[in-house]
């Protein structure tokens, strides 16, 4: 992942114009780091099947990180979560203003598709990757999840509906990251299996986030924690202890399912996944 970090820093969006701060604002949250979890998933799948494709795959991993970063910037806006802190830094609307945060988000959203359209793959692969990212990061994926999250603030949902929320808001993009790796190496059947695995992983990821939100300080998390009382989180709905139980069940299932994948894939993903699958325990 060091190579990915270098790739990202070397390929930050370029925009020279009369606007004195626009390019810097575009870079701010991208450079701030983050776990790069979604890129690592995609690159883990590609590395398992064809290491020669890793250089090209970084473009696709970058596109996912661009889309993910835009979503964080918009989620943090005053009209939504109104968060002062992200990735350990002040959020864009705090450093600049709301206009900048909205427009930088818009630009990174569109740019993710530009990056995929220019990525070093055949046109057939490019189109498949674009479709996957748009489906899962768009109106029936991540954006829908955020819309549900905001709409039902202060209105408790059932656990099933919270799973719908998190499947859309978090899990679909995580699942797409795995599947896009499979698309790049031409393993489409595996892609479907990885997608289902990724949905479950994404829900676990969100339960863990909910747990960490109440057990970590803002400094530890690099973002404002203990800020979800009005949100539909697992912890607010079923309590910390039951959320831990739910997370353990999912973590055990995922550990089992991981064993069903090819040896090379297991090897490539297991240290990453074991770390994440168990980060709440």
Here the tokens at position 210 are: 């909910």
Query: Who's near 75: CB < 8 A, 6+ residues apart?
Result: 81, 83, 146
Q: Based on CB atoms, which residue is closest to a copy of itself, 117 or 249?
A: 117
Choosing from 5, 82, 106, 188, the residue that interacts with a copy of itself (CB under 8 A) is: 106
- Of residues 138 and 222, the one with the C-beta less far from a copy of itself: 138
Per CB under 8 A, contacts with a copy of itself among 205-264 are none
Task: Return the structure tokens found at 159.
Answer: 């656990």
| Binding test (CB under 8 A) with a copy of itself, winner from 92, 108, 178, 183 | 108
Of 30, 72, 92, 130, which lies in the binding site for a copy of itself, with binding defined by CB under 8 A? 130
d(CA 243, CA 234): 6
Structure tokens, 150? 């905001």
**Of the residues 69, 100, 170, 177, which one makes contact with a copy of itself according to CB under 8 A:** 100
Query: Residue 152 phi/psi, 5° resolution?
Result: -95, 15
**Binder to a copy of itself among 35, 52, 82, 131 (CB under 8 A)?**
131
Q: Is 140 in the site for a copy of itself (CB under 8 A)?
A: yes
Cβ-contact 42, 68 below 8 angstroms: no
Burial of 32 (0-12, 13-18, 19+ CB in 10 A): middle
Residues near 144 by Cβ (< 8 Å), separated by ≥ 6?
168, 169
Among the listed ranges 29-37, 42-50, 133-141, 182-190, the one in contact with a copy of itself (CB under 8 A) is 133-141
The C-alpha angle 264, 115, 132, rounded to 5 degrees, equals 60
Residue 135 touching a copy of itself (CB under 8 A): yes
Enumerate binding residues for a copy of itself (CB under 8 A).
13-15, 17-22, 26, 70, 74, 77, 79-80, 97-100, 102-103, 105-111, 113-114, 116-118, 122-124, 126-127, 130-131, 134-135, 137-140, 143-144, 146-148, 150-151, 157, 161, 164, 168
């Amino acid at each position: 992942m060091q190579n990915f970090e270098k790739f990202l820093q070397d390929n930050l969006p370029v925009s020279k114009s009369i606007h004195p701060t626009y390019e810097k604002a575009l870079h701010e949250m991208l450079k701030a780091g983050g776990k790069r979890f979604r890129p690592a998933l995609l690159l883990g799948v590609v590395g398992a099947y064809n290491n020669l494709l890793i250089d090209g795959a970084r473009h696709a991993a970058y596109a996912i990180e661009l889309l993910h970063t835009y979503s964080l910037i918009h989620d943090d806006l005053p009209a939504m979560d109104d968060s002062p802190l992200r990735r350990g830094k002040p959020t864009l609307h705090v450093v600049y203003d709301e206009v900048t945060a909205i427009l930088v988000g818009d630009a990174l959203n569109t740019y993710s598709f530009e990056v995929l359209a220019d990525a070093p793959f055949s046109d057939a692969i490019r189109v498949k990757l674009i479709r996957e990212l748009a489906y899962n990061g768009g109106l029936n994926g991540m954006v829908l999840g955020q819309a549900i999250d905001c709409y039902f603030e202060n209105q408790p949902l059932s656990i099933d509906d919270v799973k719908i929320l998190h499947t859309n808001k978090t899990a679909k993009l995580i699942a797409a990251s795995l599947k896009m790796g499979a698309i790049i190496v031409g393993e489409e059947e595996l892609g479907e299996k990885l997608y289902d695995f990724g949905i479950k992983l994404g829900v676990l990821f969100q339960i863990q986030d909910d747990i960490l939100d109440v057990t970590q300080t803002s400094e530890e998390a690099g973002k404002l924690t203990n800020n979800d009382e009005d949100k539909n989180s697992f912890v607010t709905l079923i309590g910390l202890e039951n959320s831990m139980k739910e997370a353990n069940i999912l973590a055990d299932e995922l550990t089992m399912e991981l064993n069903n994948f090819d040896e090379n894939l297991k090897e490539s993903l297991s240290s990453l996944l074991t770390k994440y699958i168990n980060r709440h325990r």
